[in-house]
Amino acid sequence: MNYTIEKVTTLIGARRFGNAEASIGFLLTDSRSLCFPEETLFFALKSERNDGHKYIDDLYRRGVRNFVVEQLPEKWEERYPNSNFLKVVGTLEALQRLAERHRDEFDIPVVGITGSNGKTMVKEWLYQLLSPSMVVTRSPRSYNSQVGVPLSVWLMNEQTQVGVFEAGISQPGEMQALRDIIQPTIGILTNLGSAHQENFPSMAAKCKEKLTLFHDTQAVVYCQDDELVNRCMSEFAYHGEQLAWSVKNNKAAFFVKLIEKKDVTTTVTYVYNGKTEGSYSIPFIDEASVTNSIVSAIAALYLGITTEQLAERMAKLEPVAMRLEVKEGQHGCTLINDSYNSDINSLDIALDFMSRRPDHKGRKRTLILSDIYQSGLTDEKLYHEVDDLCVQRGIKKFIGIGEHLQNNAAQFDNIDEKSFFKSVDEFIHSPEFGALSNEVILLKGARTFGFDRLTELLVQKVHETVLEVNLGAVVKNLNWYRSFMKPTTKLVCMIKADAYGAGAVEIAKTLQDHRVDYLAVAVADEGVTLRRNGITSNIMIMNPEMSAFKTMFDYDLEPEVYSFRLLDALVAAARKEGITGFPVHIKLDTGMHRLGFDPEKDIDELIDRLKHQNAIIPRSVFSHFVGSDSDDFDDFSAKQFALFDNASKKLQSAFKHKILRHIDNSAGIEHFPERQLDMCRLGLGLYGIDSRNNHIINNVSTLRTTILQMRNVPKGDTVGYSRKGKIDHDSVIAAIPIGYADGLNRHLGNRHCYCLVNGQKAEYVGNICMDVAMIDVTGIDCKEGDSVEIFGDDLPVTVLSDALDTIPYEVLTTISNRVKRVYFQD
Ligand SMILES: *Cc1c(COP(=O)(O)O)cnc(C)c1O
C-alpha cells in the first residue's frame, strides 16, 4: 500500500525540497535496518544521544532518496541529486502523523492493548484466536513505543481486517500520542504493575494515563476484581461498553464461574453477557497465562468468534517466545533461533538482527523457514516478498520447509542455493541436512512444523548447565547509565574478564551495534579475539603485556600505559616497527595504589618523555576511584578527583590535540555525574548490577541447570561427601549437574544458600561436589528434568555474593568456560 511522495508531503504538512518522483512503501528510523532503499522514507529522528541527520549521507549512498528532516543538509541539491527532503518541525511528530493518517484510511475494528505486563502475550494470543477467521495486522514483537507504534500501524494494508496493537508508556503524557495513532475501537487493559512507577506520582495516576488510550473506544476489557483499576474506570466516566471480567461478580460482562487447574491444562468456565455459557481449556497452568487468556477470550468473543471456535483455538494456544537465541551449532555453524510466531514482519526483524551481527569468517548466511500462515497474501505474492527480503538481507542459501513453500519454489529466483522439503523429517534425512557447515543459520519456523527437533539436532551437545545472556537487557542498562551522562560524553564499555563472565564477543557485537566509543579488555589476546570476530570499534588494553606490543600494533589495540618502564618498552617497540602516533591511554594512580603514574611526582617527567618522541600519542588520560560505590569514601573520592583534575589538565595543556579525560566507573556515573569529564567507563552496571545499592537494574545473566535425579532420603541419613548434609526429617533430595568446577562456589553448600526450583527456594544440602550439587526439594512440586535457577532473573546474583561475603563481580567472573553461554534478544 504505497503512497506517492506528494501525498506523504501533504499528509504530514511538510515543505518539500526536491522534485523526484517516488513511491513510499517502507518507513525507516534506524539506518542500519535499511532493506528496500528505493521505496524507503527515512525519518531523521533526534534523541538526546543521537541525531538521524548524521546518517543521511550514508543512506543516500545506499540508495535512499527520500528523507524527512528538521534541517536541510548543506548544499543538498548538489550533494544529493534526484532526492526529496521533506522539512518538518519535528521528525518524530511527522512519523506519528503519517501513521495516524494511514490509520484513518481504515474503517475496521482495531484493538489497543495496554497494561504493565502481558501486552505482548495478549496480542499474540488474540492473533492466534482470530487469525483462522480473519486477516490480522499486529505489532511485530513488542513494538509499543512512541516510534514502535507508528511503525506497527503503518503495516496495515488492503488485506487487513482487524488490527491489534500494543501501547507502552514510560512517561506521563505519552499515551495521547499513541491513542491518536492506534485509534482503537476496542481497548484491553491487561493489568497494572509497578513498571515505570518512578515516573508517575501514584499508581492511580499511571492507571489514568493508561486509560487515556480508551477514550473513544466502543468497548473496554478489564478486570473488575482489581480495586484500583475498578476505581479508575469509574472515575474515568467511560461511555462505551464495559467488558469487565470478574470471578466474584456474576453481573460482570464476563463472569468467570470456575477455574480448574489440572496437571498441564487449565479450564475456564464462564458466562458472557449474562447469557452465553461456555468453557475453554488452555495448555498452561500459571496465573499470568490464565488471566491473559481471559482478556483475550473476551476480545475474541466481542469480535464475533463463537464459543466453539474459542474453545477449539484456546486448546491449541502456543506459548509466546519472544527470544531470538544465538547458539553455537555443529560443524562450525552458528544458529540464530527465532521461535516467535512465523510471519513476514517478524522474519524481517530476525533477518535484520542476523545481518547486523558481524561475522569474521564471512560465513554464508542461511535461512531455514517454514510455511507462513495467515499472511492475507496469496502464496505467490507472499513468497515472492520473502525472496526479495532474503536477497536484501544477504541470505545466500535458503531451505524451505512445508508444502506451500515447496509449491512456490519458483518464487525464489534470486537465490542460487536453495532446497525445499515437505517436512522437518524429510529435511533431516536429506543430504542437505548433513551438508550444513560453516554457516550462520537463522531458523524460523511455525511451531507445528517441529523446529525444536531441528534445533536440537543442530546445536552442539551442551552440558545441561547454561548461562543465558539477555542482550536486550545489556542495551537497557547501557541506556540507563547513558541517561546520567551528557549526550556528548563518550563511553568506554569494560568487557574484560570475558565481559564479566557474559562472553566478550557477543557482548561486543551488541555494544558495537549501539555505537559505544571504546571497548576495554584486560590483555591483548582478548582484543585479538574481538578483532577476529569482526569487531571494528576502538579497543583499549588495560593490562598490556610487553611481549604483545607487536600484536597490539597489528590489530589496532590501544594499550594503557602506567609506568615509565612500560612507556620506554612501548616506544622502542613502535620505533622498531616504524610506527608513529600510536594512540595510548595514560593511567594515573590517585589512590588505588595499584598501577599508574604518580600525578604529582611523575607528571612533569611524563610530559617531557611523551613530548620527546613521536612513536606514541596520548589519546586519553584516566584514573580509577577506589570507593565510588559508597558514600563513606566521598571525601577520599573528592581528593582523588582533585589530584586527577590537576595532573590531567597539566598533561592536556602540554599538547595541542584533545586528550580525553576520564575517571567515572559505573558507580561514579551514577554518583558523581558532575565528574563525567569527556568519557566514562562502564563496567558492572552494563551487566545490570548497581553496586551502590546492591540491586539489579535489568538482569543480564541467568545461570540455569536441570534436575538430574530425585530421591527420598529418610531422617537420620546424610547427603554428600564427609556426611556433611545431615537430614533431620524425611526429605526429597535432587541432584543437579553443576559443581565448583563450573563456578558454583563450595561455600554455598551446607544450606548457606539456595537456588530456585519452579520459583521455590531449594537449599544446597551437604558439600557441593566438583560437577554435581544436591538440593533440598522437600515440599516443592518438581520432577526430574525440571529447570533450576542458580541465579538470574528471579534470584539476584547479589544473594549469592552476600552469602559468600564477596562482591557480585567475583560470582559472575568465576563461572567456568565449560558452562555454555546462550545469547538471546527479547
Ligand atoms: C574494571 C574497571 C572499570 C569498571 O568498573 P565497574 O565498577 O565495573 O564499573 C573502570 N575502570 C577501570 C580502570 C577498570 O579496571
Distance (Å) from CA 665 to ligand 1 centroid: 5
Helix (H) or strand (E) holding 471: helix 471-482
Place of cell 618502564: 565
Angstrom CA distances, 373 to 134, 344, 447, 483, 539, stand at 12, 10, 11, 42, 45
Beta bridge partners of 518: 492, 538
- Specify the DSSP element, H or E, that contains 777: none
DSSP secondary structure, 611-650, as one string: HT--SEEEEEEE---S-TT-GGGHHHHHHHHHHHHHHHHH
Question: What number of other Cβ atoms are within 10 A of residue 642's Cβ?
Answer: 12
Q: Sheet holding 136-138: strands in order across?
A: 136-138, 162-166, 110-114, 186-189, 219-223, 241-246, 254-261, 266-272, 276-282
Closest ligand 1 atom, CA of 500?
8
376-to-36, 104, 410, 449 alpha-carbon distances in Å = 21, 20, 20, 20
Q: Whose CA is nearest to atom 6 of ligand 1?
A: 683
Q: Which atom of ligand 1 is nearest to the CA of 668?
A: 9
Check residue 237 and give its pLDDT: 81
**Could you say which DSSP state residue 459 is in?**
B
Task: Name the closest-CA residue to atom 15, ligand 1.
Answer: 542
Nearest ligand 1 atom, CA 665: 9
Report which DSSP code applies to 283: S
Distance, in Å, from the CA atom of 346 to the CA atom of 356, rounded to the nearest integer, reads 15
CB-based burial, 291-305: b 16+ in 10 Å, e otherwise: bbbbbbbbbbbbbeb
Query: C-alpha cell of 475?
Result: 542495551
Ligand 1 atom at minimum distance from 682 CA: 9
Q: Please report where in the chains the cell 556426611 appears, as a residue.
A: 723
- What CA–CA distance (Å, rounded) separates 731 from 713? 5
682 CA from centroid of ligand 1 (Å): 7
For residue 462, the model assigns a pLDDT of 58
Kindly give, in sequence order, each residue whose CB lies less than 8 Å from that of residue 319, ignoring residues fewer than 6 positions away. 284
| Whole-angstrom distance, CA of residue 144 vs CA of residue 166 | 5
Span from the CA of 681 to the centroid of ligand 1 (angstroms): 6
In CATH, which of 3.40.50.10710, 1.10.1060.10, 3.40.50.10470, 3.40.1390.10 is domain 3-94? Answer: 3.40.1390.10
- The span from the CA of 441 to the CA of 133, in Å, is 33
- For every residue of 368-428, DSSP letters joined together read EEE-----SS-HHHHHHHHHHHHHHTT--EEEEESHHHHHTGGG-TT-SEEEEESSHHHHH
3-state secondary structure of 481: helix
Find how far residue 301's CA is from the centre of its chain: 34
Ranges of CATH 3.40.1190.10 domains, the chain: 106-314
Q: How many CB atoms lie within 10 A of CB 551?
A: 18
Longest dimension (CA), the chain: 92
C-alpha 789: how far from its chain's center?
20
Q: How many angstroms does the Cα of residue 610 sit away from the middle of ligand 1?
A: 26
Residues 6+ apart with CB under 8 A from 239: none
Distance CA 771, CA 755 (A): 16
Query: Which ranges in the chain are annotated with CATH 2.40.37.10?
Result: 701-825
Query: Is the separation of the CB atoms in 72 and 17 below 8 Å?
Result: yes
Fold of 324-461: Protein-Tyrosine Phosphatase; Chain A (3.90.190)
Residue 220 near residue 243, CB atoms below 8 Å: yes
Distance between Cα 25 and ligand 1 center (Å): 46
**Residues linked to residue 686 through DSSP beta bridges, in sequence order:** none
711 is in an annotated binding site: no
* Per-residue model confidence (pLDDT) at position 573: 95
Indicate the top mutation candidate among 561, 585, 680, 681 to test ligand 1's pocket, ranked by most ligand atoms within 8 A of CB.
Answer: 681
Q: Is 393 annotated as a binding residue?
A: no
- CATH code of the domain occupying 106-314: 3.40.1190.10
Mutation choice for ligand 1 from 480, 521, 624, 628, CB with most ligand atoms inside 8 A = 624
pLDDT for 304 equals 96
Kindly report the number of other CB atoms within 10 A of residue 337's CB atom: 27
Question: Atom of ligand 1 at shortest distance to CA of 691?
Answer: 7
d(CA 639, CA 600): 13
Nearest to 579 by CA among 609, 610, 540, 613: 613
What is the topology classification, in CATH, of domain 469-696?
A: TIM Barrel (3.20.20)
CATH 3.90.190.20 maps onto the chain at 324-461
- Active-site amino acid positions: 496, 721
Identify the residues whose C-beta falls under 6 Å from ligand 1. Answer: 494, 542, 624, 665-667, 681-685
Specify which residues 701 forms β-bridges with.
Answer: 469
Distance 701 CA to ligand 1 centre (A): 19
Which among 484, 491, 493, 494 is the best mutation to test ligand 1's pocket, defined by most ligand atoms within 8 Å of the CB? 494
Q: State the fold for domain 701-825.
A: Lyase, Ornithine Decarboxylase; Chain A, domain 1 (2.40.37)
Q: What angle do CA 794, 799, 800 make, to 5 degrees?
A: 110
Q: Which atom in ligand 1 lies closest to the alpha carbon of residue 685?
A: 9
Choose which residue among 587, 665, 690 to substitute to test ligand 1 binding: the one with the highest number of ligand atoms within 8 A of its C-beta.
Answer: 665
Q: Separation of 528 CA from ligand 1 center, angstroms? A: 20
Whether residue 375 contacts residue 342, with contact meaning beta carbons closer than 8 Å, is answered with: no
Q: Write down the pTM of the prediction.
A: 0.78
Phi/psi for 654 (5° steps) reads: -85, -10
Q: What is the CA radius of gyration of the chain?
A: 29
Q: In Å, how far from its chain's centre is CA 406?
A: 34
What end-to-end distance do the CA atoms of the chain give, in Å?
29
Identify the residue whose C-alpha is closest to ligand 1 atom 13. Answer: 624
* Residue 752 alpha carbon to ligand 1 centre in Å: 29
Taking the chain (826 residues) in runs of 10, the rounded mean pLDDT of each run is 95 96 96 92 92 96 97 96 97 98 97 93 95 92 92 95 95 94 97 77 87 94 92 87 96 96 93 95 92 97 97 92 84 88 85 88 93 87 94 95 95 94 93 92 87 84 82 95 94 96 95 95 96 94 95 97 97 94 97 96 97 96 96 96 98 96 97 96 95 91 95 96 94 96 97 96 97 96 92 96 96 93 87
Cα 624 to averaged position of ligand 1 atoms, centre (Å): 7
Q: Which atom of ligand 1 is nearest to the CA of 628?
A: 7
All residues at 6 or more sequence positions from 82 whose CB lies less than 8 Å from its CB, including other chains: 18, 20, 65
How many of the other CB atoms lie within 10 Å of CB of 27? 20
User: Which DSSP symbol is given to 260?
Assistant: E
Cell (9 digits) for 674: 558532575
